[in-house]
Structure 1
Amino acid sequence: MTANTPARTPVTLLGLGAMGTALARTWLAAGHPLTVWNRTPARAEAPAAEGAKAAESTASAVAASTLVVVCLLDDDSVGTALDGVDLTGKDLVNLTTTTPAQARARAAWAEERGARYLDGGIMAVPPMIGVPEAGGYVFYSGSRELFEQHRQTLAVPAGTAYVGEDAGFAALHDVALLSAMYGMFAGAAQAFALIRGEDIDPVAFAPLLSGWITAMTGPHVLGTAARLKSGDYTTDVVSNLAMQVAGTPTFLATAEGQGVSPELIGPYFGLMRRRLDAGSGEEDLAGVVDLLRR
């Protein structure tokens, strides 16, 4: 660092699991003074060898920097780690995986203790941290002022996406996207199960499956979003609900013939049937979303 190089923002990082360790390495590599703490002190040895200061307690770690980043196991761990710690004047960024309700409660908890609060949902796995071309990013919600002030520092490990002042929105975006991911994984599992007992190479089948999911997902997601926003579920419908429900017995019969359980696709087909029975045969599938709302 030269005289003309701007000073890097000091960071305190609580939690050195796989993700925390990856975050620590990227901030250190970028020249940020880093103080670390972990419940198991041995986890701090590697970042300390790379230049981090290992704190003996969360209190001393928090005292070392204005910007405090937390990446622990769960919300209870955050409460335990920071119990009794003076947070006055601190900027607390919580990257711990929580529910939206827990994030909102933790934001209120932090503000009561004199801290600004930002919640984060990490859309990456540890190997993607510090690798911009990997495409990882973090959703942030809560104090906009805090986010804008520390945007450059927070962008060092991964891209940033601010989604609102409601502290629960980052967690909600995180879980919503991951829920969609697992839904696609379920569909892929069903497809592989159907061919499993046949003389079909799963490796040769995989590009067909991946390409089909990609081709279908984009238009479906964008179309559903537009229909939900407009409230008109019959706009630009290509395959209406009546037509799609009429085809579901073929899928179920094929699964039975292949000795494959329908437990992954059966519930979704049931929702489609319920929507059809309510008189929505000319719609697309957007109405299923309303059936899921309690």
Structure 2
Amino acid sequence: MTSVTVLGLGPMGRALAAAFIAAGHPTTVWNRTPGKENGLDATVAGTAAEAIAASPLVVVCVRDYAAAQAILDPGALNGRTLVNTTGGSPAQARELASWAAAHEIGYLDGVIVATTAAIGGPEATLFYSGPADAYEKHRGTLAALGENTTHLGEDPGRAAAFDASLQDMLWTSMSGVVHMFALAEAEHIDAADIAGHAKALLGFFPDLIDLLAGQVAAGHYPGDAGTLEATAATMDHVLSAIRAKNLDNGVLSAARAEVQRAIDAGHGSDGFGRLAARFTGAAGGGAS
């Protein structure tokens, strides 16, 4: 069994170490603050460099990229594979990958889409990007962290880009959810009464994502399922209700303004997917 080093024993780092240990991998751990290794059947290193030297595969999971760079010893890492599961931007991932390459360190960038409780089980999803040979070499070991692992490509920033894109959808959507509750409360509707109806309304969402993905991929935005002009009218009704209750309308107003810009550019009969072209600066591209 390949030995593994885990740097960083915050809640997620500890979960990663526990999963490797449970799968039978000899595991060495290090954390800046002593004591967090308590209860783990692991070898505890006195320094980050000692921990790195103990294993051919080094997994780092700390607060941010600055913290990761501060503890990564290029001399100790030389000839080893570094898997960075510290959250960050695609640009940061590519920058760290370049640093690793300059020091002859194998590098994979990893993104964890799971709670700490899910790590090591069937519900844990992990994305990796970087050299395919590095991923294949350690694929079996990394499988200890979760059953749903995907190598997204050679670009080291690709996993972080997937994560940022998905998180963009998540938090924009979550903002809409809490705003829904605020408007409902203002209209004397209990959150529990509307929650079930909200979930039913979103039942069409997976199919809608597929529809919009097809439009964006093809650069063709038919309004068969609803035009931007019709969308604008619906948004205006909702904004009227929000303003009547003196609630903040910044998010929906911004979305409504983007729809109007597309309409003003002559795309009122197009579908909602047209906005993706506008966001990327390709407003004139693609046929309706």
- Does residue 279 in structure 1 map to residue 269 in structure 2? no
Contact 2:12 2:61 in 1 (8 A): yes
Provide TM-score, normalisation by structure 1: 0.91
Q: TM-score, normalised by structure 2?
A: 0.93
Give 2:176's aligned amino acid: G
Using the TM superposition, give the Cα deviation of residue 110 of structure 1 relative to its aligned residue in structure 2, in angstroms.
0.8
* Ranges in structure 2 where 5+ consecutive residues have no aligned partner: 282-288
What residue number does 1:264 align with? 251
- Matched residue, 2:276: 289
d(CA) in 1 for partners of 2:128 and 2:200?
A: 31
Q: 1:71 aligns with which of 49, 61, 73?
A: 61
Residue 165 in structure 1 maps to residue 158 in structure 2: no
Deviations 1:183-215 (A, max 9, x none): 110111121111113442211321111221232
Q: Match of 1:96, SS? A: coil
Shift of 1:263: 1.4
1:229 to 2:217 alignment? yes
Give me the whole-angstrom Cα distance separating, in 1, the residues matched to 2:19 and 2:73: 28
The letter for the 1-side match of 2:30 is W
Checking the alignment, whether the CA contact within 8 Å between 2:216 and 2:277 is kept in structure 1 is no
Matched, 1:186 2:179: no
1:111 to 1:293, Cα distance in 2 relative to 1, 3 A? same
Partner of 1:57: 47
Q: Secondary structure at the match of 1:23?
A: helix
Name the count of aligned residue pairs: 280
Q: Could you give the per-residue CA deviations for residues 158-197 of structure 1, whole angstroms, max 9, x where no partner exists?
A: 2211111000000000111111100110111121111113
Identity of aligned residues (%): 36
Unaligned runs of 5+ in 1: 1-7
Q: Is the 8 A contact 1:58 1:85 kept in 2?
A: no
Inter-partner Cα distance in structure 2 for 1:264 and 1:121: 28
Residue 239 in structure 1 maps to residue 226 in structure 2: yes
Query: Could you tell me which of 19, 32, 45 is aligned with 1:26?
Result: 19
Paired residue for 1:219? 207
Distance in 2 separating the partners of 1:147 and 1:214: 36
4+ runs of 1 displaced by more than 4 Å? none
Q: CA RMSD in A?
A: 1.4
2:285 aligned partner: none
Residues 2-37 of structure 1 show CA distances to partners (whole Å, capped at 9, x for unaligned) of xxxxxx211100010010011111111111100001
Quick one: which amino acid aligns to residue 53 of structure 1? T
- Deviation digits for residues 220-274 of structure 1 (CA, Å, limit 9, x no counterpart): 211111111111112x621111111122221111111233221121111110111
**Is 1:148 paired with 2:148?**
no
